[in-house]
Structure 1
Amino acid sequence: MTTKQRLLQICNEHVDKRINDYKEEINLIKESIASNDKGNSEDDDSGNGKLLNDLEKNMGYLADANKTKEYLKLIKTNVEPVDVVLGSIVKTNEMNFYIATSIGKIDLDSDVYFAISLNTPIGQLLKNKKVNDSFEFNQKKYVIQEII
């Protein structure tokens, strides 16, 4: 398995875990709402208000995680682009980036990669850059040495 394939797999596993966690949380909230409905008098709705808000929030998070999962399906691991695009590994003089979704630091073999989205501030700076292009982020200058 190539480094790109392994990084994509790690990102997918991270998103899958988030999806499962949100589904579990949603089920727990639904169970709590159901048990509150059985145990409360008809006029006492105060406990369910917060639960319904939590349910709505988690359903939104789940929808976002599912969108991220679909977004990751767009990554082609067998392509070596000339410029930085979704799925690129970008090696700079300072650090390595994997352009996919924002999950942060990934230790892989003896290298460290930072998985970021193209929508992040640094992702926007990297977008469409080529080898030897440079950019500045947080008063630090980065020079792209390799795009895989």
Structure 2
Amino acid sequence: MVKEELLKFCRNFVEERTARLKKQSDGLQESLSSETKSSAGDKHETGRAMVQLEQEKLAQQLQELEATRSILHKIKIDAPSGKIRLGSCVETSMAHYFIAISAGVFEQAGEKFYCISTSAPIAQLLMGKEKGDTFIFNGNTHQITKVG
């Protein structure tokens, strides 16, 4: 089932990004420890402040990823629904979408699915619509051909 693969793709996206950020955070912590051991003075204080700012940015990104992970946990791919909602797989006359998180493009059997969040402009237009409905995006009329 393609929805299972899409959800797995999105989860892997979040896990890989989390691992990268944690690795960066560990590197910054190591850098901060070595800054502490180096010489004192203005240069030392500036270096520490820059490392701490980077740590704060990483902490914020990790927090955002945790929120993204919680969105993925809310998705029930087995729940049938004719209306487009979080977790819907949507085929339109122009493209295929998975309404979940912004995770890029998933390809399977020559088909591309754009993994988009509910806050994406096109997702805003899709939410609540059904198979057969049309909508206008970037001046083009799109028809919804399938909702899964």
Whole-angstrom CA distance in 2 between matches of 1:64 and 1:135: 31
Q: Is 2:11 the partner of 1:26?
A: no
Give SS of 1:8's match: helix
TM-score normalised over the length of structure 1 = 0.95
Partner Cα distance (2:147, 2:71) in 1: 20
SS at match of 1:82: coil
1:4 to 2:3 alignment: yes
| 1:47 and 2:47 correspond | yes
- The answer (yes or no) to whether the contact 1:80–1:147 under 8 Å persists in 2 is no
Q: Whole-Å Cα distance in 2 between the matches of residues 18 and 31 of structure 1?
A: 20
Could you tell me whether the CA contact under 8 Å between 1:101 and 1:116 is conserved in 2?
A: yes
Indicate the larger mover: 134-143 or 88-97: 134-143
Instruction: Give 3-state SS (helix, strand or coil) of 1:73's partner.
Output: helix
Which residue pairs with 2:109 in the alignment? 109
Paired position in structure 2 for 1:146: 146
Matched residue type, 1:142? H
Using the alignment, how far apart are the partners of 1:65 and 1:76 within structure 2? 19
Shift of 1:42: 5.6
Q: CA deviation at 1:40?
A: 2.4
CA distance in 2, matches of 1:145, 1:130: 9
Q: Between Structure 1 and Structure 2, how many residues are aligned?
A: 147
Identity %: 29
Distance 1:48 1:114 in 2: 41
What whole-Å deviation, never above 9, does each CA across 1:83-111 have from its counterpart, x for those lacking one?
A: 10011000000110000101121111221
Per-residue deviation, 1:80: 2.4
Match of 2:65 in 1: 65
Structure 2 portions without partners, runs of 5+: none
Kindly report structure 1 stretches of 4+ aligned residues shifted beyond 2 Å: none
